[in-house]
Amino acid sequence: MAKKMKRQPETLVELMDIILSRVCRGLKSSRHLLADACTEMEGFGIDPDAPEPEKLEILINYVENLRDEDGNMVFSAVEIQEYRTQLRKLTRRK
Amino acid sequence: MQTKNVIKSVIMLGDAAVGKTSLVRRFVVDQFDDTYITTLGAKPMEKDIRIVGKDAIIELRMIIWDIMGQKDYERVHRDMFEGVNGGIIVCDVTKPETLKNLGEYWIPTFFEYAGKVPLVLMANKIDLKEQLKIEIKDIQALLASFQMKDGCSPPFYLTSAKTGENVQVGFEKLGELLARDMGLL
Ligand SMILES: Nc1nc2c(ncn2[C@@H]2O[C@H](COP(=O)(O)OP(=O)(O)OP(=O)(O)O)[C@@H](O)[C@H]2O)c(=O)[nH]1
Ligand SMILES: [Mg+2]
């Protein structure tokens, strides 16, 4: 458990900030893919000021399958697993 | 006169709901929509403009990064600030706190990550005349405390994404500042 890790998110907003910034960085060089992904994510109707856990789950499911221009996955399975764990933790604590 | 092709990245800065997406939409596709769909992450769009330089026509392709305005999304903001060449800073003339936040958060953070690159302020929603709550002198006072690398304070325009007023002009001004920054004007 103790291996890597930057700071763990303390709120759902922070978790969403981490995920979205990773999407942006991962697709920054494939602009049309990033624009499409953003439009898609907007459609989930998440409130960025108070993300609903169910909707964050939808967001994580979506980014799990994102691929860049070369067909590589944007997120690793480990990252996705981590987001799910964090989401669970943050939701339980409430 | 020869033609010179240049590509520059610019970014939209300002609080949620001030009209960043609407301004980009007006500029790029000349449309406006009353419904508010909050932007998530950062959405790139592009538009070509033409500027007459001192010894060439400059065909400038602007990659416009339309980012989410919510506070607390600092990772998204900072990641996107890095490496951009200029910005449009936006406030809503019916909400004084959106001007204040430009001075307290957006401009200083942007300058920290992007450098003191060209900026243009758009005081937006000027069509809502009866709800106006910001005065020109407030805008001037705020801008006076920030200098771009050319030593000047950013210029500003009173805009409306709804009617289109000053939108094109404002983006073209940014194009001109970028061209000047490259020594082409
Ligand atoms: N009357 C009027 N309404 C505007 C104007 N510009 C934008 N709006 C409205 O203001 C709301 C927010 O506009 P957006 O362009 O989505 O705001 P934004 O800055 O992109 O917001 P975020 O993406 O959440 O950061 C929408 O309902 C727009 O229709 C304007 O010039 N006049
Ligand atoms: Mg927007």
Determine the Cα–Cα distance for residues B170 and B161; give it in Å rounded to an integer: 11
Q: Does domain B2-181 have CATH number 3.40.50.2300?
A: no
Which residue among B21, B106, B168 is best mutated to probe the pocket of ligand 1, counting the most ligand atoms within 8 A of its Cβ? Answer: B21
The verdict on the CB of residue B19 being under 6 Å from ligand 1 is yes
The verdict on the CB of residue B94 being under 6 Å from ligand 1 is no
Dump pLDDT digits (tens) for B10-61. Answer: 999 999 999 999 999 999 999 999 999 999 999 999 999 999 998 899 999 9
| Domain locations along chain B | 2-181
Looking at the complex, report in whole angstroms how far the Cα of residue B44 sits from the nearest Cα belonging to chain A: 6
Nearest by CB to B76, from A20, A39, A46: name it: A20
Q: Are A25 and B79 in contact (CB under 8 A)?
A: yes
Ligand 2 centroid to Cα of residue B3, in Å, is: 34
Q: Are A67 and A74 in contact (CB under 8 A)?
A: yes
The verdict on the CB of residue B36 being under 6 Å from ligand 1 is yes
Determine the Cα–Cα distance for residues B93 and B84; give it in Å rounded to an integer: 26
Structure ipTM: 0.94
Nearest by CB to A13, from B39, B46, B72: name it: B72
Listed residues: CB within 5 A of ion ligand 2: B 20-21, 39
Helix (H, G, I), strand (E, B) or coil at B45: strand
| Domain locations along chain A | 12-93
User: Where does the pLDDT of residue A71 fall: very low under 50, low under 70, confident under 90, or very high at 90 and above?
Assistant: very high
DSSP 8-state symbol, B126 = T
Considering only CB atoms, which chain B residues are within 8 Å of A48?
16, 38, 40, 68, 70, 73
Dump pLDDT digits (tens) for A20-56. Answer: 999 999 999 999 999 999 999 999 999 999 999 999 9
Q: pLDDT at residue B183 above 70? A: yes
Report the residue of chain B nearest A59, measured CA to CA: B40
H-type alpha helices, A28-76: 31-42, 53-64
- In degrees and rounded to multiples of 5, residue B60 shows phi and psi of -100, 120
Helix (H, G, I), strand (E, B) or coil at A57: helix
The verdict on the CB of residue B17 being under 6 Å from ligand 1 is yes
B69 Cα nearest atom in ligand 1? 25
> What pLDDT is stored for residue A93 in this prediction?
58
As to burial, measured by CB atoms within 10 angstroms (0-12 exposed, 13-18 middle, 19+ buried), residue B54 is exposed
| pTM assigned to the model | 0.96
